[in-house]
Amino acid sequence: GESVGLHLPTLSVQEGDNSIINCAYSNSASDYFIWYKQESGKGPQFIIDIRSNMDKRQGQRVTVLLNKTVKHLSLQIAATQPGDSAVYFCAESGGGTSYGKLTFGQGTILTVHP
């Protein structure tokens, strides 16, 4: 029979376009957020992080935006390149008893067409 699995959101863009990947988190006590990139056959790789006392942070070609009011996180990639094709995960580190461990979102598949 047909297997049931996660249906990851997908985003397909042309090379050179800007990409925006979104993530909703659930724990209002989370105080640290990270975006990871995972390429096929590899482990998740750190892209950029943000603490809860900030609402925006920029890196090289990437920007993370945090909206604590609606518990929403986004990753913007400027001038997307074919090498950016991967699965992107957001992760949150909560306070209290969950301090120290990351909880991951389901991921978004980004495909960049040359």
Which part of the chain contacts another protein (CB under 8 A), choosing from 2-10, 17-25, 55-63, 71-79? Answer: 2-10
Q: By C-beta, is 77 or 91 nearer to another protein?
A: 91
Nearer to another protein (CB atom), residue 56 or residue 101: 101
Positions 71 through 90 that interact with another protein (CB under 8 A): 89
| Alpha carbons 53 and 30: distance in angstroms, whole number | 11
- Shortest separation between residue 78's beta carbon and another protein, angstroms: 24
Nearest to 25 by CA among 75, 85, 86: 75
Taking CB under 8 A as the rule, does residue 54 contact another protein?
no
Q: Which is nearer to another protein, 18 or 111 (CB)?
A: 111
Q: In Å, how far are 78, 83, 106, 108 from 7, measured between CA atoms?
A: 26, 23, 9, 9
Distance CA 20, CA 92 (A): 18
